[in-house]
Homo-oligomer: A and B are copies of this chain.
Amino acid sequence: MSNTPSNPKGTRDFLPSELSKRNFIIDILKKNFKNFGFSEIETPALEKTSTLLGKYGNEGDRLVFKILNSGEKVKKADIIALKSNDLKSFTKSVSEKGLRYDLTVPLARYVAQHQNSLTFPFKRFQIQSVWRADRPQHGRFQEFTQCDADVVGNNSIVQEIELIKLYDKIFSELGFDDLVFKINHRLILKGIADYLGLKTNLNEFISIIDKLDKIGLDSVVNKIKEKFKDVSFSKLENLLKNKTLNFENISLLLNDSLLAKKGIEDLKSVFDFISSKSINNEIRFDLTLARGLNYYTGTIIEVVSKSNTSLGSLGGGGRYDDLTSLFNMKNTSGVGISFGLDRIFILMEEKKLFPYYLKNSFDIIIINFGIKYLKEIYSFIDLLRNENNKVLIFPDKVKLNKQFSYANKHNAEYAIIFGENEFNNKEIIIKNMIKGTQSVHDLKDLNTNILK
């Protein structure tokens, strides 16, 4: 028996006050996902290692939590592999299952597995835990919640438009109006590379462009000149001279690029439909937005805060043409967005966006003068609960100040007092714990309006 028990490093216990705030966010997400026509699904925490491994790169494979085989199966441990330091083979010999690493690969597996039960386009959302064997550190957890909405099996730009509207709707309802929805397109990045005569290492080129915000134009030009000998420098300078790399300039520049054509058309459709005037936050083309390029194939989106730029993105997403082909289901385009629950939580705390009422764990306390008195007013307690008041009956007939102190610690709004005096006078006392006032009511005449 451990002396001072604790949860494992990198995991969290949620106290009621914290969880009610997290659920405030999650409830708003769920409601709006549904109102936009998304259906909820759930997949198991446990997946076969054959489903999980090989999808996230070597580093990802290492970070997947593996489940030790149970019982006699563990005897098949490959001791030779262990001794020769081949940990991968050893792990394979003692583990067949792991914990899901994200919600995207399970979605691909789910769609491929259940394709005959689903109707496409399949709009699904999923809010579940994922696990990563990262070194635990401040703000990075081994167990955390992902919140994803994706549309599978449709390549219409209407999806991108709706997803940005959904971002705006949800973040507005949470209280944000100073966010930027950055948007770019994979084919525009390809077009730029092509325009510059860049044949290889597109990802490296993008990762330099990605630093524009941090290191400035001159450094970016120098770095590109240094790394890429085959780039046309006159064009590069021409490109970067357009100090504002806005959508109009880029469109003109890539006017003749067949590669970029679809990307430009897509974003034009988005900007025709959504302007920063038509939403509460801001939408902005950002040529330097890169986001996991080997994964996305079309539009890419990222949400950042103007007031807290060090926090990182509050959400992101994009279109991927090839997801379910991991599981032998071809030609299934998908597009999705995710919400960074922990960062949204931090920013809402910072901006004091959580409503005050989340602080109380119940609304009304029933002061206990003995079980006989509780029974007398139990039908009224029933009534209060039926109208969604959170009512706690103090369990013991103890001193009043102890009962009131409990109520205050929980920020209860009302106390209901019904003891011997009240019983004899056929009345009930309602005390407003916030205002410190109280009112007396006829026992025959109890209804929930007397709380008003």
Name A's B-contacting residues (CB within 8 A): 1-8, 11-16, 19-20, 23, 31-32, 34-37, 39-48, 50-51, 54, 62-63, 65-68, 70-72, 74-75, 77, 79, 82-83, 85, 87, 90-91, 94-97, 99, 109-110, 112-114, 117-119, 121, 123-124, 129, 131, 133, 142-143, 151, 154, 156-159, 161-162, 169, 269, 272-273, 326-328, 361-362, 368, 371, 374-375, 378, 385, 388-393, 395-396, 406, 409-410
Pick the contact of A7: B47, B77, B90, B393 (CB < 8 A): B47
Contact across chains for A395 and B327 when beta carbons are under 8 A apart:
no
A392 touches which of B15, B37, B70 (Cβ 8 Å): B37
B63, B117, B129, B161: the one contacting A45 at CB < 8 Å is: B129
B395 touches A159 (CB 8 A): yes
CA distance A72 to B54 in the complex (A): 20
Tell me which of B2, B4, B34, B70 contacts A65 (CB under 8 A).
Answer: B70
Quote the shortest CB–CB distance from A123 to chain B (angstroms): 7
CA distance A110 to B391 in the complex (A): 24
Query: Which residues of chain B have C-beta atoms less than 8 A from A112's C-beta?
Result: 5
Q: Is the CB of B40 within 8 A of A68?
A: no
- Knowing A326-B1, A388-B35, say if A68 contacts B41 (CB, 8 Å): no
Main secondary structure on A side of the interface with B: mixed
15 additional A-B residue pairs with CB within 8 Å, beyond A35-B389, A158-B368: A2-B327, A7-B46, A14-B43, A15-B114, A35-B385, A36-B391, A37-B390, A39-B361, A44-B143, A45-B143, A65-B68, A66-B67, A74-B87, A75-B85, A158-B395
Please tell me which one of the listed residues B12, B90, B392 contacts residue A74 in the complex, with CB atoms under 8 A apart.
B90
A134 to B429, CA, bound (A): 55
Q: Which residues of B contact A409 (CB under 8 A)?
A: 119
Q: Which of B8, B39, B123 is close to A44, meaning CB atoms less than 8 Å apart?
A: B8
B406 close to A119 (CB less than 8 A): yes
Query: B74 near A11 (CB under 8 angstroms)?
Result: no
For A110, the chain B residues whose CB sits under 8 A away are: 7, 13
CA distance A83 to B75 in the complex (A): 8
Q: A5-B113, A391-B36, A393-B162 are in contact. Are A74 and B91 (CB under 8 A)?
A: yes
Q: Are A35 and B123 in contact (CB under 8 A)?
A: no
Question: How many copies of this chain are found per oligomer?
Answer: 2
Q: Which of B16, B114, B378 contacts A40 (CB 8 A)?
A: B16
Cα-based distance from A272 to B36 in the complex (angstroms): 51
**Which residues of the partner chain B approach A114 to less than 8 Å between Cβ atoms?**
13, 15
Distance to closest chain B CB from A269 (angstroms): 6
How far, in whole Å, are A14 and B40 apart by their CA atoms in the complex?
9
Please name all residues of chain B whose beta carbon is closer than 8 Å to the beta carbon of A395 when the two chains form the complex.
Answer: 121, 151, 154, 156, 158-159
Task: Identify A2's interface contact among B6, B45, B51, CB under 8 A.
Answer: B51
Chain B residues with CB below 8 A from A70, complex form: 62-63, 65, 133
Complex CA gap A75/B154 in Å reads: 47
Contact yes or no, B8 A48, CB < 8 A: yes
A83 to B70, CA, bound (A): 16
Least CB distance from A418 to B in Å reads 14
Provide the bound-state CA to CA distance between A131 and B87, in Å: 26
Known: A70-B62, A328-B1, A371-B269. A117 touches B15 (CB 8 A): yes
Chain B residues lying within 8 Å of A40, measured Cβ to Cβ, are 16, 19-20, 23
CA of A433 to CA of B32, assembled, Å: 23
Kindly report which residue of chain B lies nearest to residue A108, judged by CB atoms. B5
- The answer to whether A327 and B389 have CB atoms under 8 Å apart is no
Known A68-B66, A361-B39: A1·B48 in contact at CB below 8 Å = no
Taken together as a complex, chains A and B put the C-alpha atoms of A375 and B271 apart, in Å, by 12
CB distance B75 to A82 under 8 Å?
yes
Of the residues B2, B16, B95, B385, contact of A41 by C-beta under 8 Å: B16
The distance in angstroms between the C-alpha atoms of A77 and B93, with both chains bound, is 13
How far, in whole Å, are A118 and B14 apart by their CA atoms in the complex?
12
Q: Are A13 and B43 in contact (CB under 8 A)?
A: yes
B41 near A19 with CB under 8 A, answer yes
With A19-B42, A68-B67 in contact, do A390 and B1 touch (Cβ < 8 Å)?
Answer: no
Checking B32, B374, B392 against A123 with a beta-carbon cut-off of 8 angstroms, the contacting residue is B392
**Known contacts A16-B124, A50-B2, A158-B371; A68/B45 CB under 8 A:** no
